[in-house]
Amino acid sequence: MKKNKILIIVFKGIGDIVLTTPLVKALKELNKENEIYFLTKKFAAPILEKNPYISKIFIREEKPLMEIISSRPNIVFDFMLSSSSLAYSLFSLASKRITFHRPWNAVFYSHRIKTDFEGYTAIKRLELLRALGIDPAKFSSTMPEVYISQDEKEHIRSILKEKGLSANDKIASFDITSPRIYRQLPGDKFIALADYLSELGYKIIFHPGPGEETYVKENLSRAREKHTILEGLNLRELSALISFSSLHIGTSSAPMHIAVSFNIPTFTVYSPFTSPSSWSPNLPIHGFIQGDLDKLQFEEIKKELSSFLERNGL
């Protein structure tokens, strides 16, 4: 593959960006001289910091169109299929504008890929490589990657020490909220799971995001055991914390995808409206239970979690 300048557009959540990192790596593997640019929103951009395969991160809120044009990308991968991403694709002047097939987008993109792949989203995104005549199956590494520096890890070590914890403890990180309420199991059931894991020797850490602190504290007030809550972590700090975990429990949101990127075992509670096969890799260390979140009983979830822990020796 000749050298290319490639722009990737992902405006959605942090998890969507994490799930695109295997494509970033694949494009660099095709030619180490490729320059890879990423256009995303400000709140999510830090998750891409220190990624060795990315030349430049463009922030949508900074209106970077002229800078993008100056970078002269010749390939664009647009995962948003929105009016805004379409504008960036067109005005980038890239000769190859690649996206997934939709009935309406023939006029705007040079390559539209049809696929019946229904599995893990990180792998599905590699399907767009077919527009370049590349079989995505040639890439053995399809796991997301987030990069954390040693300094960032040491910072979290110091925060844990202040809380009477150690990075060497058997930590279970908990994310009990979701930006989509239909994905969110009632908090009291997560608290009961935390109490159960505490009895098994885990140190439980809750890490609420901005605006989630009150909800998490209200639920924690009903816990039988004492658990730790770390407030005000930025995205890089959160990632470093999760990298020290032995287990991550939660919803199908960004922290779960970050945990996957560090090869941390995860146990996720899915609503009926979310596909586990799409959002979690098909590996034994990533377990789940799925059902009507209001009707799922704690004992059902506990039983499934207990089996998961036993199977993985956790």
| Residues 34/6, Cβ–Cβ less than 8 Å | yes
Q: Determine the Cα–Cα distance for residues 65 and 275; give it in Å rounded to an integer.
A: 35
Higher pLDDT, 107 or 146: 146
Amino acid 2: pLDDT: 86
- Judging by DSSP bridges, how do beta strands 35-40 and 56-59 pair with one another? parallel
Dihedral (C-alpha) 241, 246, 251, 255: value to the nearest 10 degrees? Answer: 30
> What mean pLDDT is predicted for residues 72-77?
98
Q: Tell me: the pLDDT tens digits for 45-68? A: 999 999 999 999 999 999 999 999
Q: How confident is the model at residue 179 (pLDDT cuts 50, 70, 90)?
A: confident
Amino acid 141: pLDDT: 83
Task: Name the phi and psi angles at 288, rounded to 5.
Answer: -165, 165
3-state secondary structure of 235: helix
3-state secondary structure of 100: strand
- Please name which of 44, 262, 191 lies closest in space to residue 286, comparing C-alpha atoms: 262
Amino acid 1: pLDDT: 74
| Residues 228/278, Cβ–Cβ less than 8 Å | no
Q: Tell me: the pLDDT tens digits for 90-111? A: 999 999 999 999 988 888 999 9
β-bridge mates for residue 249, sequence order: 174, 267
Please enumerate in sequence order all residues whose Cβ is within 8 A of that of 28, keeping only pairs 6 or more positions apart, or say none: 34, 36, 53
- Judging by DSSP bridges, how do beta strands 171-175 and 247-250 pair with one another? parallel
Q: Determine the Cα–Cα distance for residues 58 and 290; give it in Å rounded to an integer.
A: 37
| Residues 156/233, Cβ–Cβ less than 8 Å | no
Domain annotation for the chain: domains and CATH numbers: 5-138 (3.40.50.2000), 150-312 (3.40.50.2000)
Q: Is 126 left (phi over 0), alpha (psi -120 to 50) or beta?
A: alpha
Q: Which residue has the tokens 């505490």?
A: 198
Q: Which H or E run contains 37?
A: strand 35-40
Average pLDDT of the chain is 96
> What mean pLDDT is predicted for residues 297-309?
97
3-state secondary structure of 268: strand
User: In Å, how far are 57, 92, 96 from 71, measured between CA atoms?
Assistant: 12, 9, 15
Burial 116-149 (b: 16+ CB within 10 A, else e): eeeebbbbbbbbbbebbebebeebeebbbbbbbe
Amino acid 276: pLDDT: 95
Q: Determine the Cα–Cα distance for residues 17 and 49; give it in Å rounded to an integer.
A: 12
Listed in order, strand segments (DSSP E) in 60-95 are: 75-78
Q: Determine the Cα–Cα distance for residues 39 and 45; give it in Å rounded to an integer.
A: 9
Tokens, residue 81: 């299929």
Query: CB count, 10 Å around CB of 162?
Result: 9
